[in-house]
Amino acid sequence: MSLDSLLLSALAPWRSSPIWWVAFSGGLDSTVLLHLLARLADRYELPVIRAIHVHHGLQVAADDWPAHCQLVCDELGVALSVIQVRVGSGASVEQAARVARYQAFGECLGEGELLLTGQHRDDQAETVLFRLLRGAGVRGLAAMPAVRSLGRGSLVRPLLEVSRADLEAYARANGLAWVEDPSNQQLEYSRNFLRRQVLPLLQQRWPRTVSSLARTAGHMAEAQQLLDELAQQDLAAAQGIGDCQWSNLPNLPNLALAPLRGLTSARQRNALRYWLAGLTLAPDENHWAGWECLRDARPDATPRWRLAGGELQRGGDRIWWLPDAWLEPVGGPVSWFGPDTSLALPGNGTLRIEGELPSGRLQVRYRQGGETMLVPTRGRRDLKRLLSEAGVPTFVRARLPLLYCDEELVAVANLPQLSRGGVALNWCAPEF
């Protein structure tokens, strides 16, 4: 199949997309991709084709690339957008540049638009080998997906089945000019070392190394799809709200432990990896002891599993994901002057009152420890014990609004049994 036909077939599902953006670095891969699309647009009715060049400014030579890209786009009649980004510091310049680049791409995409990139079969093989050497699992060895969401649109890699040799042959046959990134020669970068030293050596012994590694990525992607489907089934029962009134707090995903305990350890980890994928970085093998502590702890214990951007905590017979913003301390007391029945709490959502406000100086406060409350028919009781009896998870208690009239605690939010004088507080927790 010709490159034209292959590309047209790969992009057939998105013919109604408003814009096809080409990630145009000026290198061989993206130059061929842009040329192919411009040629196809002359023969077929396609979405608007535009190019986008991200300028990192990491090396002197890169300053000339936007001008080169503009010249190519002018010749092809394609509009070009050039975006400058700052690359964050970190252990890996490659990774930091990649993150900055795709963040810029994602911000550029409108609803339903595509970003097309020129990664090819050799890139896929290189990615598989690189991740294999780092001990990746099934998801990692699936390497680069052909399609994934990005911003408000999608990222599509239509050339993953094409070899670099085929792209270069096309470029030379059509007299295309492209830029060469000098950093691609620097062997201190791991991927460059694999590309220039390891893969050629493997191909001397096994000529089909690249296609075999790329095929492995396909097998792993299929296996990962099956694992994801299994995870969805295993999570279905655990994601029910059940009888816990706190399960519907906004942006605090939670799972019931009982259904998870009934699974094998391997299925537990698979389900949790899937569930955590949109919340935090996947835990590595050294971190799974945190899950075992959560799972096996006594019902009255409060174990924590710290992960990137937040932590998992146990509350009753459920586990909860708490983002770092939730774990931040709440502010001090807030005076409530009335007669408004709704109050915005700084950093802690809103509070609405039902019933008649008691007369006196009203304040919303938070637990400091040692609070007591006068409970009808029971006398004065320790608030900590009352919250425990009501099944309030430990991580909710520090944020739970308390209404004081003068210096007397008269109502606890969302717990009508802990209210006096017919006053009820309805707390809408913050969304982070």
**Is the pLDDT at 340 greater than 80, yes or no?**
no
Q: What is the pTM of this model?
A: 0.84
pLDDT for 338: 67
Architecture per CATH, domain 241-327, reads as 2-Layer Sandwich (3.30)
pLDDT for 296: 92
Q: Give the fold, CATH level 3, of 3-123+144-198.
A: Rossmann fold (3.40.50)
Q: For the residues 68-80, what does the mean pLDDT come to?
A: 96
Query: By C-alpha distance, which of 280, 290, 289, 281 is closest to 314?
Result: 290
pLDDT for 284: 79
Token pair of 345 as six digits: 């709490």
Q: Mind listing the pLDDT tens digit for each residue in 254-285? A: 999 999 999 999 999 999 999 999 899 888 77
Give 241's pLDDT tier (boundaries 50, 70, 90).
Answer: low
Amino acid at 86: R
**Is the pLDDT at 248 greater than 80, yes or no?**
no
CB 119 within 8 A of CB 33: no
Binding residues: 25-30
Mean pLDDT score across all residues of the chain: 91
Residue 39, Cβ density class (10 Å: 0-12 exposed, 13-18 middle, ≥19 buried) = middle
Q: For the residues 233-257, what does the mean pLDDT come to?
A: 81
Among 45-54, 196-205, 321-330, 421-430, which is the least confidently predicted range?
421-430
Q: Mind listing the pLDDT tens digit for each residue in 410-425? A: 999 999 889 887 788 8
**Which contiguous run of DSSP H or E holds residue 365?**
strand 362-365
Query: By C-alpha distance, which of 311, 283, 286, 281 is closest to 95?
Result: 281
Token pair of 156 as six digits: 């599509």
pLDDT for 89: 64
pLDDT for 116: 98
Residue 123, Cβ density class (10 Å: 0-12 exposed, 13-18 middle, ≥19 buried) = buried
Sequence length of the chain is: 432
CB 374 within 8 A of CB 408: yes
**Is the pLDDT at 91 greater than 70, yes or no?**
no
pLDDT for 339: 60
Q: Mind listing the pLDDT tens digit for each residue in 302-315? A: 899 999 999 999 98
pLDDT for 242: 63
pLDDT for 224: 98
Domain regions of the chain by residue span: 3-123+144-198, 241-327, 334-428
Beta bridge partners of 362: 336, 405
Token pair of 294 as six digits: 């959560």
**Is the pLDDT at 294 greater than 70, yes or no?**
yes
More confident call, 287 vs 366: 366
Binding residues for ATP: 25-30
> How big, in percent rounded to 5, are the helix, strand and coil portions of the chain?
40, 20, 40
Amino acid at 24: F
The angle subtended at Cα 259 by Cα 257 and Cα 260, nearest 5°, is: 65
Token pair of 256 as six digits: 């019931």
Q: Quick check: bond before 299 cis, omega within 30?
A: no
Q: For the residues 52-71, what does the mean pLDDT come to?
A: 84
Strand, coil or helix: 84: strand
Q: What is the dihedral of CA 173, 176, 180, 184, to 10 degrees?
A: -40
Q: Mind listing the pLDDT tens digit for each residue in 381-394? A: 999 999 998 889 99
d(CA 96, CA 85): 11
pLDDT for 354: 83
DSSP-derived secondary structure for 300-359: T---EEEETTEEEEEETTEEEEEEHHHHSPP---EEE--S-SEEEPTTS-EEEEESPPPS
Amino acid at 229: E
